[in-house]
Amino acid sequence: MSSDVALKPERLKSGVLGTLMNLIKPFIGAGILSLPRSWARAGWVLSTITLFILTYVASYCILALANCSDIVTSEELRYTARKRIYRSRNNCDEATAVENVDFFTESNDVTEDDIVAEDWNSIQPPTMSDVGCMAFGKPGRLVTDIFIVISQMGAGITYLSFISATIPDVINRKDSFNNIHMLLVMFIPTVLLCLIRNISRLAITSLLGNVIYFFLIGCAMYLGSKLEHQPIKNLTAANWEYYPTVFSTVSFALEGIAIVLPIKYAMKEPKKFKMALSGAMVSIAIIYLAFALGCYFLFGNLVDTPDGFISILDSTSVLKTIIQIA
């Protein structure tokens, strides 16, 4: 079944590069700042292996989800085509066709050649909940929705808490504002961002966000190179006591599967999604590894603090302010 037929106007769709940027941005966030500390505690060898394994698992799960969504789309298209053909042959309305055409009935007389643009325009792209429902029925939809809400609440609360704690430091008003004030300030822009329904419109901001993260990595490397003491000889290779820490940190850093399907549906050429995803996951793994290893090799155990390498900077440092804003 061809997946290149547009479900929305072509002008609203993203190319491979835009899709690549949109895929990278959801995965790279505040979680990257916790990686050096995890590498320092669990060991750089053990942590690096864990990163590669979890990146592969995440990629496999995303591709499996994308393939399942294609299957659901194919079945929806065949069902829509059967209804259209039934209406045409029996000169009846949509309600009659729905009553007489079973979604789960296989029909050998409906082939890929029978699928027309009208059928594509009559369906909506399946969500993760739709995939769960197709696989396990209504319980599958319910369980999928519950886990999506839990995972997104966790990620959203973490990001909002991180930003609300950082803003007072940036503006030097930590005594004047508490986290509740900052959360209230961020409420309106957060709601407005949630109203953006077309992922392709965020390609530019995603690109800007990715550039900022590269800037952050560059700052870390620059600061580390200025240290008089290079603590390379005191590195931990593996410490299983802290393995749950690095496992949970990397898992959180790779959390982004809930946004994958909308990004796929926003592509001009959905067949190239696998290529875009492969490039994105490789880029994400390289960025994470470069930041975690770079900070640990350059700063040593100095990164084993809640704020990582940022904590060693002078509170009046302009560079510290820039990094916090980034």
Gap between the Cα atoms of 247 and 195, Å rounded:
33
Q: Which two tokens stand for residue 321?
A: 């302010």
Gap between the Cα atoms of 268 and 16, Å rounded:
8
Gap between the Cα atoms of 145 and 76, Å rounded:
21
Q: How many residues does the chain have?
A: 326
Give the distance, in angstroms, between the CA of residue 281 and the centroid of all CA atoms in the same chain: 10
Q: Which amino acid belongs to residue 152?
A: Q
Which candidate, 210, 286, 195, 156, places its Cα nearest to that of 18?
210
Domain membership flag for residue 301 = yes
Structure confidence at residue 271 (pLDDT) = 80
Domain membership flag for residue 216 = yes
Diameter over CA atoms, the chain: 84
> For the chain, what is the domain count?
1
Structure confidence at residue 49 (pLDDT) = 93
CB atoms within 10 A of CB 57: 12
Structure confidence at residue 54 (pLDDT) = 92
Return the axis-axis angle of helices 128-136 and 44-90, rounded to nearest 10°. 70
Domain membership flag for residue 5 = no
Block means of pLDDT (10 residues each) for the chain, 326 residues, are 45 69 73 80 89 91 87 81 79 75 63 70 80 86 88 74 68 63 77 73 70 74 64 74 86 78 78 85 88 80 64 57 61
Name the one residue in this structure whose structure tokens are 């959390």: 255
Domain membership flag for residue 166 = yes
Domain membership flag for residue 1 = no
Domain membership flag for residue 24 = yes
Structure confidence at residue 5 (pLDDT) = 41
Structure confidence at residue 53 (pLDDT) = 93
Domain membership flag for residue 3 = no
Domain membership flag for residue 183 = yes
Range of the domain at 161: 10-325
Structure confidence at residue 249 (pLDDT) = 83
Gap between the Cα atoms of 214 and 262, Å rounded:
25
